[in-house]
Amino acid sequence: MSQTEHKNINKIVSISAAVLALILLLLYMQGGFVSKVSPGLSPQPGDANAQKSNTAVVEKKQVDDILSWPGTVKSRTVANIAPKMTARIIEIKVHAGDKVKKGDVIARLDERDVKAQENAALAALSGANAQANRAKADEQRIQSLYSKDAATRENFDAVVARAKEAQASANQAASSVTEIRSHLADSLLLAPFDGVIVKRLKEPGDMGLPGVPVATVQIPEELRLEADVPSTCAGRYSTGMDVTVRIDTLGLTTRAQIDEISPEIDPQTRTQLIKIALPAIEGLQPGYFGWLEQACDRHEALLIPSSSVEHIGQLEVVKVLSEGQEHMRHIRTAKTFGDRIEVISGLHAGEIVTTHPQQAQ
């Protein structure tokens, strides 16, 4: 026999085996082998107790549509540490992950310009105080002379006016010194509360600008899941409502309460921001990804016990009891609801399917 003939024979044998396997599978699904079972090895049609304990009725019920909205774990208390003046950053004392106490120095700005302004203001204040003292002395002398009719009213009024003007200039100079010294205090950026540095956004030598953060600090214990929910579903939520939160990184699902609902709807995504206060969870950190799970609507579903479903390869099948006989039927399933599963094709309400208690345990 030639090699070509041998390959053809092998090909024919393979095709025949595949066809035979398909025929056997179809016969099995149609209950073709049910009558082959030896008598006494399965419940008889007249055995009511056996049927009751191993069958279930296909039920039609209203079920919740549980949807999941992605969110991010964030701290409730976050502060961006930014300068109040324009100055070069001389030193940054923290890195991401560092713990800080309230009042700790985060960064130090170049204070030389402010120091020069302070010195100039102090000199101006000294001169203004000297002028005010001389004017005050002149006022006292003219008042003594005026009381003795040794000075005219015109001279008296002029001296008093100069004294008031000099004192006003001294007060203004003192205010300038106070203001400049407050700027001097602003050259130190301090932690506003006990927390953890999560971002370091600048480096020494960079220019510090008003309102531009140098670092970000937050309290890691007070965490929330923030999720954008479509406005069509957000209306079903309320502050204080219990919801389900899933954190895949930690492999856990927990109950939590809605802490805040933004009244504003994003015009582009048509979503509302919902913030959920999380309970104390070991290992949970800001930045983790999570899910807000909650029912948004309801629909009518056909439900059977999950233990009724058998898997043959990629196929899902059940045994339907009809007139005392079991028939294999191909079905398609969807979501599970506890120990029951939704059937989307292959069954009708009121039909009876057999269950498998050993799988339900």
Q: 201 and 179: one domain?
A: no
**Boundary-marking domain end, from 185, 207, 231:** 185
Answer whether residue 317 is part of any domain.
Answer: no
Q: CA neighbours within 13 Å on the CB side: how many for 5?
A: 2
pLDDT at 359: 44
Q: 201 and 93: one domain?
A: yes
CA nearest to 95, candidates 207, 213, 199, 205: 199
Average pLDDT over residues 100-118: 87
Range of the domain at 163: 112-185
Average pLDDT over residues 37-42: 34
Among 48-52, 202-206, 302-306, name the one with the lowest average pLDDT.
Answer: 48-52
Answer whether residue 359 is part of any domain.
Answer: no
Q: 240 and 126: one domain?
A: no
Q: 132 and 87: one domain?
A: no
Average pLDDT over residues 331-350: 86
Q: 90 and 208: one domain?
A: yes
Q: CA neighbours within 13 Å on the CB side: how many for 203?
A: 0
Q: 89 and 129: one domain?
A: no
pTM above 0.85, yes or no: no
Answer whether residue 124 is part of any domain.
Answer: yes
- Give the pLDDT confidence of 228-251 residue by residue, as tens digits: 988 888 888 889 989 999 998 898
Question: Which CATH number belongs to the domain containing residue 276 in this structure?
Answer: 2.40.30.170
227's tokens: 């999720």
Residue recorded with tokens 């961006």: 80
Average pLDDT over residues 62-84: 87
Average pLDDT over residues 113-142: 80
- Give the pLDDT confidence of 270-297 residue by residue, as tens digits: 899 999 999 888 888 888 899 998 877 7
Question: Which CATH number belongs to the domain containing residue 206 in this structure?
Answer: 2.40.50.100
pLDDT over 60 at 52, yes or no: no
For 111, residues 6+ apart whose C-beta sits below 8 A from its C-beta are 87, 184, 187
Answer whether residue 255 is part of any domain.
Answer: yes
Q: 96 and 191: one domain?
A: yes
Q: Which 8-state DSSP code applies to residue 278?
A: P
**Boundary-marking domain end, from 162, 185, 208:** 185
CB-based contact 227:274 (threshold 8 Å): yes
pLDDT averaged over every residue in the chain: 80
Answer whether residue 264 is part of any domain.
Answer: yes
Domain count, the chain: 4
Average pLDDT over residues 175-201: 86
Average pLDDT over residues 251-257: 90
CA nearest to 261, candidates 293, 233, 285, 300: 233
258's tokens: 């809605």
Answer whether residue 334 is part of any domain.
Answer: no
Q: 120 and 181: one domain?
A: yes
Q: 136 and 155: one domain?
A: yes
Question: Which CATH number belongs to the domain containing residue 166 in this structure?
Answer: 1.10.287
Answer whether residue 229 is part of any domain.
Answer: yes
Q: What is the DSSP string of 151-189?
A: S-HHHHHHHHHHHHHHHHHHHHHHHHHHHHHHHHHTTEE
**What CA–CA distance (Å, rounded) separates 91 from 88?**
9
Task: Specify the 3-state DSSP secondary structure of 342.
Answer: strand
Answer whether residue 307 is part of any domain.
Answer: no
**Boundary-marking domain end, from 163, 197, 218:** 218
Q: 226 and 211: one domain?
A: no
CA distances from 127 to 120, 158, 171 (A): 11, 21, 12
pLDDT at 361: 37
pLDDT at 12: 64
pLDDT at 290: 93
Q: 168 and 103: one domain?
A: no
Q: 224 and 293: one domain?
A: yes
Average pLDDT over residues 297-310: 84
